[in-house]
Every structure is written in structure tokens, then in C-alpha cells.
Structure 1
Amino acid sequence: MTGSDTRVAACLNPPTITELNASQGLPPWISLDTRVYLADRHNSTTAAAETSKGHAVQVSICFAHPPALSYVCIHCPGLQHANFASEPRVVRSEKQFLLLHLPLNWSTRLVRRSSEYYMYQAVPGRPPTLSRIPDPPGRSFLVARDLGIHCCGDGGEYILAGLCPSRDDAQGGYELHLYSSVSRAWTRKPAYLEKPPIEEQLPVASHKVIPLGGSLLGWVDLWRGIMVCDVLSDETYACVWFVPLPGLMPGNEADCHLCPWVIRDITCINGSFKLVEIELISLPPKNKDE
């Protein structure tokens, strides 16, 4: 990969870490950087695929002992840095899966821009694999924040699910897009909110997608609430339930325009939501006489 571009300048120099060798055993968990670095780091985790234009893509993971960040490196020998419209990212991680987003730009024309997604998979006892996710029919691209991963047992299969506002429903419905690693094809069904909340509570963005147990996924708006959907339902349409989140703590109410990751995060552990919020409190200046 050659050339330089300010759009990807921050991901050209991977951090210096004491890298662990995957063949010698790894820690039970890691902290993974969501930024993907453009660098050739071939090791035992390396897997390869091709872009939609036939260019080679090589993905490797550089492991580090927590609290140091492990990170992902991508090497595309046939591309230049200018071919990236912005920085590549880790979209989701779930068990043995990593969903990666490569915002590629095949020319200076906006219409040639391509948001390509790749699933990296590491199953114990097997070589790692990398596969490109095809675009769903009738939709030019998917938004990274709308995508979640449902793991189908321990056999290495998965469902990639995207919940997004419908383009065809004037009533404000949704669409559930499902990609199966078995059929390697997309399906789509309408999705509707059961007992919709008032407009002021309705989620406007998916900050993250989390597994909730079974075949349930939750699309989280950290300001407002969670859209819950059974991605394996056999119904012809998908039902979506809204779970509101508690209001902001008093010290944070004036900062609702900030990125929510600064003060809030949520996960689901053993069927229970765990919400963490850091309250920002402004202390009055000290008296000089004190």
C-alpha cells in the first residue's frame, strides 16, 4: 500500500506494544482498539480475502496484555491510501467474530465510493478466515452503526442483522436486513414497533448493537433506549420492542449534545442490563482565602 492521505493519517502508525504470539497462548480476554491500522503485520492470525474489485485484503490481529490495547492491521498491497475515504474500523466484536468496515473510494467521484464489510473469524483449532459481506439487494450500502452479530452455536455460523428505517413505509416503519453465513445471501422483512413510545423517546441513532440472549439483539440509543428484536423469528414481519433508558443524571443534562460514549455505556449480562454513567459535576472555584 502506497501514497499518503490526511484522511487516514492517524491509522498509518500502529502503536508499539509487546506483541503476544497467538501460538503460545493468549490472555482470556483483550481490550481491542476500534481503529484499524493500515500496516503489514503478518502473523499466525493473518487471514485474506478480496475486495469487490478483486484487490487482496490481508487482516492480522496484534495481541497485547490488558490494559494495553490489542489492535487490527489491514494490508492491501494493490491499493493506495487515497483509496480509503476514511479510516477503517472494527464495527462489532462478538465471540470469535470481528466485523470490519473498509470505506473504500475507487475514484474521485462520490458515486464510486464503496462501504465494504468483512467478517473475520477465529475458531479454535482452525485457521482464521476472512470473508467479504456482499451488499444487500436494492440497497447501495449499510450503515455500520446499524449492524449486529448473532452467533449460531459453536459451529462458526452467524447471522448479520441490520435494523434501519424503512425507505418505503410512510408510517415510520423499519426494515430488518439479515445476512446468513450459511446461505451467503441477504433477506429482508418489514419490522414494526410494538407500542411505539412518544416521539421524544423514539431512538434516533444506534450507538451500538448488543446480544440479549437467545436470538434477541438490541439496537441501543444511549440517550433514549433500546430497540429489541428477535432476528430468528419465523414471522413474515419482525416485531420490535422499545426498552427506555433512565434519564440522564442531573450533572449531564446540559451535555446531551456530546458524544454519549463520554458518559454512558450499557451491556447485557445474564439477562440483565448493566448501565454505567459518569456524572460530570462542575465544582465552584475555590476562594483564594481558603
Structure 2
Amino acid sequence: MGMDDHEFRLLTIPPPIHPEDPDSPLPETILIDSFGYLSNRTNATTANGRRSRTKKKGKRILVTFWPAAPLRVSCFTVHCPDPKADAYGSIPKVCYTEDGLALLCVTICPERQYMYAKNIRYFVYQAGTKNTPPSVKLVHSPPDFTFFDHEVALLRRRDQDMFFIAVLRRAFVEREYTDGHFHLHLYSSKTKTWSTKLMRLDSPPDFEFHSRNKGITIGGEHGSVGWVDLRRGILICDLLLLDSNQSLRYVPLPSPLSPEPLQRYPLSVRNIVVLQGYIKYFEMHNNVRPSSYTGSSPILEGWIAAKKR
């Protein structure tokens, strides 16, 4: 598996969880590899949960994080007592992290059947605190679809000890997909159910949004989340206002550093994160100058990078 298949995510780990060495306290945030491992080793971060709705003996899952101080990359492991290693149809993966929560995807199925929704299990891991141990909770899978990392956003509500999982997709309206309508699939950990709402876009005349590259959690009093198209802009949804307002807002990206059209995968040169209440945008591109020799290729002189918030 090449490096292009990997992503690293930030996960907030509140105290008193520490690495195995008690003399090396863990920082508040770790950098986690999205792809995990199969192992029955445990430590202070291990959470034990159910991996199916039934309470049959053995239908358990153990999730453990192995923290390392940045810039080193941390990893996580998954262990289910009953199936063998070859029963996993895909590598366990972290789909999203937010405020001490990690959304995990674990596929347990026969070979070449891992794309079926019934074989995919989603879990939300919650880091432990001084008063509560770490936990891992089964998320009831959507009834008729699976979702991809770039379609999902996670919102935690500490005041109600719950979370939302939001998945945004274009809506099929009047026999065709439209630019102005989206389906929001929303999971509530309080009700343990999924709901679907038709969302309309308050779009400006220059609206362009074609492909989602990632989700972001903005938070705030309205519980805002967003989906980013790194070539164009962000769609923002206020999850806590859905009962009174089922519309999306569009925020275009800043003007690009280079006038040349982006030819590569956007996440390799652009990114958007939410830190300390700000949406921060990063971009870089090749710094080239024309060659002094006729017919020769331009000369690469490094990279130019910029960030905005």
C-alpha cells in the first residue's frame, strides 16, 4: 500500500491516558495513522465494546491506541475474539476524529464481499478521562448505503453526552441530480437511529461544488459542520438548527496562489482544518522559472506556500 493511500488525523486525548512509559506524558493531541492493525495487545487506552446488536458471547471488539509524541505517528489496533485474521475484508480504518472521538470502520466478511453494507461495522471510540474509562460504541449502520471518509463529519455535544454523524450526498430530484439539493443523512447517538433530510442550498450566482474532499467540524452554538471541495469551496450545515432551517451555506475558497488550473489530487497541495475556532486554509504550488535555453523544460526552484484563516 502506497503512501498516497494513507492519511494522518489529529485526535485529542485528554489526561490521564499516558503511553506505556509513565515518565513520558502524552501531549493533548496525537497524530494518528488512519489505517490500523489487528492485535490483542492492550494498554490504558483499550476500550471493550459490542460489535453486533446481539449479546452473543464472543461478539466483542477491543480498540487500543498506541500514542507517540508528534512528530511521530501514533497507531491503533483492533481485536475481535472470535474471527480469524483472514475474516477481515479490509484494514480497520479511522474515518474521522473530533474532540476525543474517533469514528472507526471495521469490515468483517468473506473475501471479495467487503463492499456490502451488511459486512461493514462502524464504531465511535471515546478517549477516557480522569473520571471515565475509554469506550467504544457500535454505530448502527445506515439501512441501505455505505459512506466514504470524504462524505462524513462528526459533531460532539458534551453538554448532552452524545454525538452526531452527518453524511452529505447530492439529492436525486425530479429524475436528475441538481446543484441545489442535497440529502443529509444524520445519525444520533441518543436515539441510535439514522434520519434523512432534504437540504436546499442558499447558493450565490457563482456557486461551484462538484466533489467533496473532506468533512470538517466547525462547532459553535449552531453545531456547524462542513464539506470541503478543495478546488472550489465549503458547504456548511448547522446541525442544531435543522428543525427550523434546512438550508446549506456556501463559502468559496480564497483565490489560488497560481493562475494555472490544479492538475493534481487537491489534498496533496491544499488543506482546510478548524483550529481554535478558525477555519484555516493552506495551499502550496511549484515555484518554477522559464529555462534560458530554447525548448527546455521550466526549472523547478522549490515550493511556495501560503495560509489564510
What's the TM-score, normalizing by structure 1?
A: 0.80
Deviation readout 1:5-42 (Å, 9 max, x if unpaired): x99xx99xxxxxxx923877422222222221222231
Match of 1:274 in 2: 280
Is the counterpart of residue 202 in structure 1 residue 201 in structure 2?
A: no
Matches within 5 A, 1:137-176: 137=143, 139-154=144-159, 156-167=161-172, 170=176, 172=178, 173-176=181-184
Uncovered stretches (5+) of structure 1, i.e. residues with no partner: 1-5, 12-18
Partner residue of 1:88 out of 74, 87, 92: 92
Matched-pair contact (CA < 8 Å) for 1:123–1:156:
no
Matched-pair contact (CA < 8 Å) for 2:202–2:248:
yes
Match of 1:14 in 2: none
Partner residue of 2:106 out of 102, 106, 109: 102
Match of 1:41 in 2: 41
Matched-pair contact (CA < 8 Å) for 2:154–2:164:
yes
Return structure 1 stretches of 4+ with deviation > 6 angstroms: none
Matched-pair contact (CA < 8 Å) for 2:89–2:108:
yes
Uncovered stretches (5+) of structure 2, i.e. residues with no partner: 7-17, 294-309
Mapped to 2, the partners of 1:23 and 1:160 lie a distance apart of 35
CA deviation after TM superposition for structure 1 residue 88, in Å: 2.1
Partner residue of 2:120 out of 84, 108, 115: 115
More strand by share: 2
Is the counterpart of residue 179 in structure 1 residue 187 in structure 2?
A: yes
Aligned length: 269
Mapped to 2, the partners of 1:118 and 1:250 lie a distance apart of 41
CA deviation after TM superposition for structure 1 residue 109, in Å: 4.3
Q: 1:272 to 1:81 in 2, by over 3 A?
A: same
Matched-pair contact (CA < 8 Å) for 2:89–2:112:
no
Partner residue of 2:220 out of 205, 213, 221: 213
Match of 1:126 in 2: 132
Q: 1:221 to 1:80 in 2, by over 3 A?
A: farther
CA deviation after TM superposition for structure 1 residue 57, in Å: 1.9
CA root-mean-square deviation: 3.1
CA deviation after TM superposition for structure 1 residue 273, in Å: 2.4
Q: 1:151 to 1:97 in 2, by over 3 A?
A: same
Instruction: Indicate the percent of aligned positions where both proteins have the same amino acid.
Output: 26
Partner residue of 2:233 out of 225, 228, 232: 225
Question: Secondary structure of the residue that 2:285 maps to in structure 1?
Answer: coil
Deviation readout 1:203-236 (Å, 9 max, x if unpaired): 3224232324331111111121100001111436
- Kindly provide the amino acid, as one letter, of the partner of residue 250 in structure 1: S
Match of 2:265 in 1: 259
Partner residue of 1:243 out of 247, 251, 257: 251
Is the counterpart of residue 32 in structure 1 residue 36 in structure 2?
A: no
CA deviation after TM superposition for structure 1 residue 243, in Å: 0.6
Match of 2:9 in 1: none
Mapped to 2, the partners of 1:218 and 1:197 lie a distance apart of 20
What's the TM-score, normalizing by structure 2?
A: 0.75
Question: Secondary structure of the residue that 2:240 maps to in structure 1?
Answer: coil
Q: 1:158 to 1:112 in 2, by over 3 A?
A: closer
Matched-pair contact (CA < 8 Å) for 2:155–2:225:
yes
- Kindly provide the amino acid, as one letter, of the partner of residue 226 in structure 2: G
CA deviation after TM superposition for structure 1 residue 58, in Å: 1.1
Q: 1:122 to 1:270 in 2, by over 3 A?
A: closer
Matched-pair contact (CA < 8 Å) for 2:212–2:229:
yes
Match of 1:61 in 2: 65
Matched-pair contact (CA < 8 Å) for 2:170–2:177:
no
